[in-house]
Structure 1
Amino acid sequence: MLDTRPNYLPNRPGVGYKPQHFSDILDHPGTVAWLEIHAENYMGAGGRPLAQLRALAERFPISVHGVGLSIGGEGSLDDEHLARLKHLIGWLEPASFSEHLAWSTHGSHFLNDLLPLPYTEETLARICAHIDQVQETVGRQMLLENPSTYLAFAESQIPEAEFLTEISTRTGCGLLFDVNNVFISATNQKTDPYSYIDAFPLDRVQELHLGGHDEDHDEHGAPLLIDSHGREVVDAVWKMYEYTIAKGGPKPSLIEWDTDVPDWPVLEAEAARAQSILQQVLV
């Protein structure tokens, strides 16, 4: 039976856990109130990674963020991957579990990227069936994250915010709102990010993500943003974050920094900035 209890991350900042920060997190967590892990890094049978995770789970709520299910893939979900995920969630009992609105598999091949989808009735039905399977297997609600995109599909028939709303309605899944992804997609496709926020069902959002991106240019010289998670959050994304929580209320808010990972004080300072904005909204 599906556990429909809401996730219970605190409405405070969290960070993506990196092993080099293990001692700092335990000794000097600062404003960091919870941690996120990538599920695929903890599907082994033991060793230091799992020992450290067990120690952290005694002190902090943990969010499990999957990157390998390929929810939007044309083929069936990988039963072995699902079984490993179920085992991890079973013993860890995380405060939250999420995945991406994306695909990353083709036949027996796994592509090391999170690729976008056309928003059609066909893909909607397939994604909902996959989410139903995941939630039934792990026995709990999952959250689905809005993607960062670089191009739009000509065959898309449904606006992204409406597409995610319908997925949530059909499956009962919650939503994870990545503010940086909205900024990236809006910049690359020359749309208004605030209109996207206004159209998004923020009442279904249980977690927010913030991260950095790289700047490039396309062949025509237009700005092209890449979702790298390799630097600090830019001011424009902070402003969108403030707008989002002012409109939808405070939410657990994650700082993602996965490449060129900084020393702990730099990462904790990003969390402190999120906490400052959260406090302003709560006043």
Structure 2
Amino acid sequence: MNHRAQPARELTPEAQASGARPWYGYGLGLRTEHFDAVLEERPAVDWFEIISENFMVAGGKPRHYLASIRSRYPVAMHGVSLSIGSTDPFDRDYLRELRQLVRDVEPIWVSDHLCWTGNGGINSHDLLPLPYTEEAISHVVARIGEVQDFLGREILIENVSSYVSFADAEMEEAAFLSEIVRRSGCRILLDVNNIYVSSRNHGFDADTYVAALPADRIWQIHLAGHSDYGDYVIDTHDHPVRDEVWALYARTLQRIGPVTTMIERDDNIPPLRELVQELDHARRIGAQTLYLSSLAVCA
């Protein structure tokens, strides 16, 4: 069966007019350890998300596997090096390679993080938070516009987990993200685990954060595991999704409706079938949420 899908920007005119959120179901992050299993087992996964930088080469084994998997499943592209919040000029070679990968893969959408990763040409290889100020909003909106114009499509930006805050912050993170989305026209990749991690580290209410976001702009959700050290929490992606994150996910869907969802796992990677089983739990939560919502409407 061919699972190929058109890019999200090619929604039908009716869907565009209604502002409908595209729906691609439940996916997994595509990792090297699972290449063969995906092709051999044809798992019950609706789509896969790739780390863009892992495939920004002209050929080779990764691109061979990607082409085979892409012929069977929709694929989303997720980057970690755009550094949308940096004051350094964009790396034009990087943008050209990213655009070529978009043309080759025809992804359902392209995403990266609301962060900066380096300065002065030095890459920290970390997703660093931004100050929540009006000046930062203007800077990021201009940068997103430049990227969207270059790629010829809207992008999704993801909220990152954070462990420090800025003394000169002028607003809460949710307001900062919402304003960037409003001005730039981009969409949100909502990482529910990151909301939980940051809420624990900074002492804010996770549900209030979700409620402050423009629901119609949330096109994708990330779920992942974290490490809980009591006084602080670290987003490690090396555990199954924890119960408290599942609970926040359920409440998020109750508030904003069905959203295309995936699970990330970047370390201590289990066999593919274990991740598929975990993904089935997300499906059950989604189905239960829809059922409860339908009961509320009928009542």
- 2:239 aligned with 1:231: yes
Give the drift of 1:200: 1.7
The equivalent position to 2:283 in structure 1, one of 275, 280, 283, is: 275
TM-score (norm 1): 0.93
Structural mapping, 1:184-223, within 5 Å: 184-216=197-229, 223=231
Task: Look up the SS of the partner of 2:82 in the other structure.
Answer: coil
Provide the aligned C-alpha RMSD in A.
1.6
Contact 1:9 1:61 in 2 (8 A): no
- 2:154 aligned with 1:141: yes
Deviations along 1:72-102, whole A, 9 cap, x unmatched?
1012111111111011001111001101011
Give the drift of 1:264: 1.1
Can you give the 5+ residue segments of structure 1 that lack an aligned partner in the other structure? 218-222
C-alpha distance in structure 1 between counterparts of 2:36 and 2:176, whole Å: 42
Deviations along 1:148-171, whole A, 9 cap, x unmatched?
111221111122111111111111
C-alpha distance in structure 2 between counterparts of 1:198 and 1:11, whole Å: 23
**Aligned AA (2:152):** G
Task: Look up the SS of the partner of 1:206 in the other structure.
Answer: strand
Task: Look up the SS of the partner of 2:259 in the other structure.
Answer: coil
Can you give the 5+ residue segments of structure 2 that lack an aligned partner in the other structure? 1-7, 12-19, 292-299
Task: Look up the SS of the partner of 2:45 in the other structure.
Answer: coil
Paired residues, number: 276
The alignment-based identity, stated in percent, is 39
The equivalent position to 2:268 in structure 1, one of 231, 244, 260, is: 260
The equivalent position to 1:154 in structure 2, one of 150, 153, 167, is: 167
The equivalent position to 2:196 in structure 1, one of 148, 165, 183, is: 183
Deviations along 1:48-73, whole A, 9 cap, x unmatched?
10010011111111010010010010
TM-score (norm 2): 0.88
Task: Look up the SS of the partner of 2:232 in the other structure.
Answer: strand
Contact 1:145 1:177 in 2 (8 A): yes
C-alpha distance in structure 1 between counterparts of 2:42 and 2:166, whole Å: 43
Task: Look up the SS of the partner of 1:64 in the other structure.
Answer: strand
**Aligned AA (1:120):** T
Instruction: Select between 30-39 and 240-249 the one with higher mean Cα deviation.
Output: 30-39
- 2:77 aligned with 1:64: yes
**Aligned AA (1:244):** T
Give the drift of 1:11: 4.1
Give the drift of 1:282: 2.5
Give the drift of 1:147: 1.3
Instruction: Select between 189-198 and 59-68 the one with higher mean Cα deviation.
Output: 189-198
